[in-house]
């Protein structure tokens, strides 16, 4: 409907996740009105990110060098590895400032529906990392959904025989939430995982 | 939180309209996983659109040449001008295939709150276009909201003394809508604009 290049821009924007045709049109018109320097900066960073960003050879996290910032940091504890699905999860956990160990990014979760089996995930690399016996605990921090649970179960079976401590993030009531609004699965987990108050 | 360039991309994406921090992160990770050629195409079209797109010297619509496709098309009727707020509105009206005349894009609507008065809109250019007497009807198709109505009232007062036919798009119930869900203003307008069935 638009003059060639404007329609091209709307089409390209519409290919991005979560951007429908209306949003694409809105963003395209924003771009038309924006300062050329601002648009140039977005275009440059898009190109640059593809040239520069790679995945850490150790843990699979996004990195600008061979190793990501966490794997390159000698202050991080080497004996604990937290296994997550995506780099986004690393960022979420880093935000808590609770964890001082290393990560391992699987690159997804087991999902038969999407055709993702263990071989599509970075599980072999994890086994290689664990081979020298430095690591004493693996914390499984996959998402608390069907795929994440399946992945956690698979990993637990794989890791337990190695004589490692294998832990899973606690499920329960979200802090600040209302008990009455918790779904029954979450509430069930909260009961299951209840702890003595003198713990 | 992310390695430099990834955070830069999230920041730049977050500046686009309707893209919050979560969406920006989601799009950034999509970009990281995407084919380099696809990302390059988006980057290129962003740059190209700023280089190529200008505004039609006649009507103010987006254009790739001096005149937009509509103003350059000799088959379009010269005696009717439809006045709209934005180029997006031109596209919406073109989609109906009901209108064969020309357009005039104001570049917004009168809005004292946002500091947009008649001088900020392409109203002088419209008066110049009307000066030679070719145009017999001006259809005011500003948005049916406060700013659009104010702009329509202003334009009507300006155009009526020129002896032109000045019309406004009909307000009423949207086709396919439910009467019971119509807001009272729309329903009021629908009564006001009611027509004899043998019309």
State pLDDT tens for residues B41-84: 999 999 999 888 889 999 999 998 899 999 999 999 999 999 99
Q: What percent of chain A has pLDDT over 90?
A: 63
Contact: B44, A43; criterion CB under 8 Å: yes
Q: How far is CA B131 from the centre of its chain?
A: 24
**Separation in Å, CA of A172 to nearest CA in chain B:** 24
CATH topology of domain A4-52: Helicase, Ruva Protein; domain 3 (1.10.8)
For B190, the enclosing helix (H) or strand (E) is helix B184-192
In chain A, where do the E strands start and end?
Answer: 54-55, 62-63, 80-84, 102-105, 137-140, 165-168
Contact: B27, A16; criterion CB under 8 Å: yes
A74-168: same fold as A4-52?
no
Give the Å distances, CA to CA, from A187 to A13, A152, A153, A190.
41, 20, 21, 5
ipTM: 0.74
pLDDT of residue B74: 96
Q: Which residues of B touch A19 (CB under 8 A)?
A: 27
State pLDDT tens for residues A152-188: 999 999 999 998 999 988 888 787 778 787 788 888 8
Contact: B26, A38; criterion CB under 8 Å: no
Q: Which residues of A touch B85 (CB under 8 A)?
A: none
Q: What percent of chain B has pLDDT over 90?
A: 63
pLDDT of residue A46: 94
Which class is domain B74-168?
A: alpha beta
- Which residues, in sequence order, are CB contacts of A143 under 8 Å at separation 6+? A85, A89, A109
pLDDT greater at residue B159 or residue B3: B159
pLDDT of residue B60: 95
CA distance linking residue B108 with residue B147, whole number of Å: 9
How many Cβ atoms sit within 10 Å of the Cβ of residue A10?
A: 23
Q: Delimit the domains of chain A by residue range.
A: 4-52, 74-168, 170-199
């Amino acid at each position: 409907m638009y003059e060639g290049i404007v329609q091209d821009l709307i089409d390209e924007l519409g290919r991005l996740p979560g951007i429908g045709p209306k949003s694409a049109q809105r963003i395209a018109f924003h771009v038309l009105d924006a300062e050329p320097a601002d648009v140039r900066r977005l275009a440059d960073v898009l190109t640059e990110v593809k040239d520069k960003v790679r995945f850490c050879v150790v843990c699979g996290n996004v990195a600008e060098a061979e190793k990501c910032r966490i794997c390159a940091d000698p202050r991080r504890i080497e004996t604990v590895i937290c296994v997550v699905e995506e780099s986004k999860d690393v960022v979420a956990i880093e935000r808590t400032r609770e964890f001082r160990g290393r990560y391992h990014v699987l690159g997804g979760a087991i999902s038969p529906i999407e055709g993702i089996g263990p071989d599509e995930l970075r599980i072999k690399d994890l086994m290689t990392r664990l081979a020298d016996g430095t690591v004493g605990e693996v914390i499984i921090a996959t998402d608390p959904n069907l795929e994440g649970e399946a992945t956690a179960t698979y990993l637990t079976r794989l890791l337990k025989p190695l004589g490692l401590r294998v832990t899973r993030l606690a499920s329960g009531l979200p802090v600040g939430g209302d008990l009455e609004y918790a779904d029954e699965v979450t509430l069930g987990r909260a009961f299951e995982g209840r702890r003595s108050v003198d713990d």
